């Protein structure tokens, strides 16, 4: 089945969904003190927005709104505009909102399609902007339409059902016994580990369609915004970090690329050799610092050089890159990297 978005019709979000269901404050301490099986959703783009599992009875006693599902949740702040799909019961915190389709017999296929459409509009909430109910519900989205110019729900369902995937397999048979003791890690400045460069601005007018990766300040698709043609590219085997836009999103680049001026590029200094395993370990640690640059703060080149991260260290006090590589290779599905 083909998608011809040019022929789709536009609808307001309020035409498709009921008014937002507002969340109510749920803290990590509440989840810790009242563990259960009910999904608690907040504003993170990690783990499908789930901050933990909480006791349902506790939520009823606290008069938290329990949504029977299915529904979509929209991050109000933090990873503003991030949309997750919740197939079953959930409770939503005060940094997120829930959406339920007007369509009475809506199913998971409809929700999954709509999630993708709404998620494509996440860029509207960059630079510290928060999701405001009135603006979001008035936002226009394009959908397949039938002859009556109503959303073509049959097509939407059939399209999602038509998508195929191959199950991921791995030769690694069991969970690793390697342990991580962060309390024993050493502290290192990024400028001591990496040669840090800044990307170069490229305007839309100067872009030519091609086969080379163009990295923008986005938080998905390994940072690749589109494909362009360019004669001068950055060398691969490096880490890229967004200093603007989706600040702190961090990726390993295995192919030549062009990086926009919203992206910083990190190459290994001469005393160690980067590979995809230790790079992915480092990228995860670097990305863990993204919370420092929420609410429109930028991770500039100068700030990045001075940023301190914690890493496993060897007996000489140097970063233990061999351990990082070994640890990553021990993880399930690491042979699929």
pLDDT tens string 151-169: 999 999 999 999 977 777 8
Q: What's the CA angle centered on 333, arms 243 and 88, to 5 degrees?
A: 80
The CATH H-level (homologous superfamily) assignment of domain 182-336 is: DNA methylase specificity domains (3.90.220.20)
Give Cα separations from 241 to 133, 220, 274 (angstroms).
31, 12, 16
Q: What is the pLDDT of residues 260-282, one digit of tens each?
A: 999 999 999 999 999 999 999 99
Confidence of residue 66 (pLDDT cuts 50, 70, 90): very high
5-162 is classed in which CATH architecture?
Alpha-Beta Complex (3.90)
Confidence of residue 175 (pLDDT cuts 50, 70, 90): low
Mean pLDDT of 40-49: 88
Q: What is the Rg, in whole angstroms, of the alpha carbon atoms belonging to the chain?
A: 22
Could you say which DSSP state residue 333 is in?
T
Percent of the chain with pLDDT over 90: 70
Could you say which DSSP state residue 156 is in?
H
**Calpha distance 67→100 (Å, rounded):** 9
Q: Could you count the other beta carbons within 10 Å of the beta carbon of residue 267?
A: 16
Q: Could you count the other beta carbons within 10 Å of the beta carbon of residue 23?
A: 24
Q: What is the pLDDT of residues 325-335, one digit of tens each?
A: 999 999 888 88
Residue span(s) of the chain under CATH 3.90.220.20 come to 5-162, 182-336
The overall average pLDDT reported for the chain is 91
pTM of the model: 0.60
How high is the pLDDT of residue 149? 93
Give Cα separations from 217 to 20, 280, 288, 293 (angstroms).
29, 19, 17, 14
Looking at per-residue pLDDT, the higher value among 130 and 279 belongs to 279
Confidence of residue 295 (pLDDT cuts 50, 70, 90): low
Confidence of residue 244 (pLDDT cuts 50, 70, 90): confident
For strands 238-242 and 224-228, give the pairing: unpaired
Q: Is 324 helix (H, G, I), strand (E, B) or coil?
A: helix
Q: 75-84, 109-118, 258-267: lowest mean pLDDT where?
A: 75-84
For strands 90-92 and 35-41, give the pairing: parallel
What is the DSSP code string of 274-304? --HHHHHHHHHHHHTTGGGG-TT----HHHH
């Amino acid at each position: 089945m083909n998608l011809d978005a040019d022929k789709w019709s536009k609808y307001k979000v309020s035409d498709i969904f009921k008014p937002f269901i507002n969340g109510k404050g749920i803290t990590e301490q509440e989840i810790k003190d009242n563990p259960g099986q009910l999904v608690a959703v907040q504003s993170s783009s990690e783990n499908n927005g789930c901050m933990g599992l909480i006791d349902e009875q506790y939520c009823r006693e606290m008069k938290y709104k329990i949504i029977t599902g299915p529904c979509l949740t929209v991050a109000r702040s933090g990873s503003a505009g991030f949309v997750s799909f919740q197939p079953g019961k959930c409770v939503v915190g005060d940094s997120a909102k829930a959406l339920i389709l007007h369509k009475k017999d809506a199913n998971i296929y409809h929700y999954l399609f709509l999630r993708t459409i709404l998620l494509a509009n996440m860029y509207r909430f960059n630079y510290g902007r928060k999701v405001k109910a009135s603006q979001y519900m008035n936002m226009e989205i394009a959908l397949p339409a039938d002859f009556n110019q109503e959303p073509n729900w049959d097509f939407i369902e059939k399209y999602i059902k038509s998508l195929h995937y191959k199950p991921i397999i791995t030769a690694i048979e069991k969970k690793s016994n390697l342990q991580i003791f962060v309390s024993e890690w050493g502290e290192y400045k990024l400028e001591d580990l990496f040669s840090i460069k800044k990307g170069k601005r490229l305007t839309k007018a100067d872009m030519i369609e091609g086969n080379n990766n163009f990295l923008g300040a986005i938080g998905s698709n390994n940072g690749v915004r589109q494909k362009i043609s360019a004669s001068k590219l950055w060398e691969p085997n490096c880490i890229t970090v967004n200093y603007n836009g989706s600040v702190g999103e961090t990726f390993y680049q295995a192919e030549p690329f062009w990086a926009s001026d919203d992206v910083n590029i990190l190459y290994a200094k001469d005393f160690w050799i980067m590979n995809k395993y230790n790079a992915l370990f480092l990228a995860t640690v670097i990305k863990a610092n993204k919370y420092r640059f929420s609410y429109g703060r930028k991770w500039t080149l100068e700030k990045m050089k001075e940023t301190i991260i914690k890493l496993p260290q060897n007996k000489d006090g140097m970063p233990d890159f061999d351990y990082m590589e070994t640890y990553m290779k021990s993880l399930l599905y690491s042979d699929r990297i």
